[in-house]
Structure 1
Amino acid sequence: QHHKGGEKLFVDYCGPTLTITCPTTQETRTAQVFVAVLGASNYTYAEATYSQQLEDWVMSHARCFAFLGGVPELVIPDNLKSAVSKPCRYEPDLNPTYHQLAEYYNVAVIPARPYKPKDKSKAEVGVQIVERWIMARLRNQTFYSLAHLNQEIAKLLDVMNNKVMKQYQQSRKQLFDMLDKSALKPLPEKPYHYTQIKTVRVHIDYHVEIEKHYYSVPYQWVKKQLRAHITNQ
């Protein structure tokens, strides 16, 4: 496939996980590794989160855009539940919260079509490289916090992006500066704050229930379905 500068960002998760150990109880917890790859330059972003759930998924995108210093025209995710509510080869339904993120950054989201591996080949290759270049080096280390793990991932990511690729005789960072950097759209003026969107039904007493709290709405909306926007701001 031919990729224009600043056009496509491919996103996915690595299959293997990394382990975080509680310093007091020595209990362990797994961390997922999010990977994003720009189509033109192969410039790569990676970070660890505790899950692939909606908030982690969405906020990984926001941190990725900040890392890139701009926003691509398209984001190409896989059809995981945090991205797509209803998979479809031609018109998939995006999760409302994910769709709100896309509107905030003015980026189009086009999930890879089911059973079309070429649609996400950049992501799959990027995941393999992160697994071999970063995760393999960290597997035998002990991490006591997610922040500590991400600090080490960032160090190795910088080395990986600056390593010369034999196929191109240039590094990912050099290609990024040449092809993608100037083509990315500018970031919004204000940082993104996570906003969960869920469908609620208005009770007969014209209240809606959100996380065991009740809020009144105009009585004309009784028995209707509404979309609630939930944020900590």
Structure 2
Amino acid sequence: MIGTWIMAALRNRRFFSFEELNAAIQEKLTEFNAKPFQKKKGSRLSAFLEEEKDFLMPLPASMYETAIWSKATIQPDYLITVGGCKYSVPYEYIGKEVEIRSTEKSVEVFYQSLRIASHPRRQYSQEPFYVPEHMPEKHRRYLEYNAESFLEWAMGVGPSTLGVVKRFLTLHKVEQQGYKPCTSLMRLADRYSMERLEKACERALGYTPEPSLKNITAILKNGQDKVRIPVDSQRQSSAQGITRGASYFRGGDL
């Protein structure tokens, strides 16, 4: 009704901007609300001021956002995927089905109507977005590692371990890719002791100047770090490559 009344009142007028049109509509809207009722006292404006205004709720602090809801089961890496990005949730919810509310600016995760995670929305990233509080303690410590901390730890173990760690950190184009084998090396020290790890690294470096984590793990697993090998029968590194002691090539040893 009100739209028809205003359009009829303005149908013969010509406007050259939206500002001019909106001002004319506001004028007619004020006029319409102030018109007296035909069958009772007052107007729409007076009825609003006397009966409705005091009961109005304040407007929301932020504008309404369109949201997309979806469901997902949390995988062992405790990540969810929205668009081109992955976001973390608390690891305690691994295996649980959650609801995801994604908007243009945020990603929220709910479990049984309880919000358990919230992230700013990103457009795209190959690397997942982790919140440290969502991670188990051992994973959280891993994020705190850097090249300096690995080197400092290796120096405390021994020169051979330090050489292996340096090799791991320079093996890849991106330094952070070497963090995983360095962390695995630390776990080997926890499992077998730092003394055995140092001997295993020394043995591995005696075999090749570029030892791998697999080499060192095999040495520890098979107890080769405990076996004392005579000097003349050990493999020795040289400018020509890996050579064997003289006794290895004597009759009966081939």
| Structures share fold, TM-score greater than 0.5 | no
More strand by share: 1
**Higher RCO (Cα < 8 Å, 6 or more apart):** 1
State the TM-score, normalizing by the size of structure 2. Answer: 0.31
**Bigger Cα Rg:** 2
State the TM-score, normalizing by the size of structure 1. Answer: 0.33
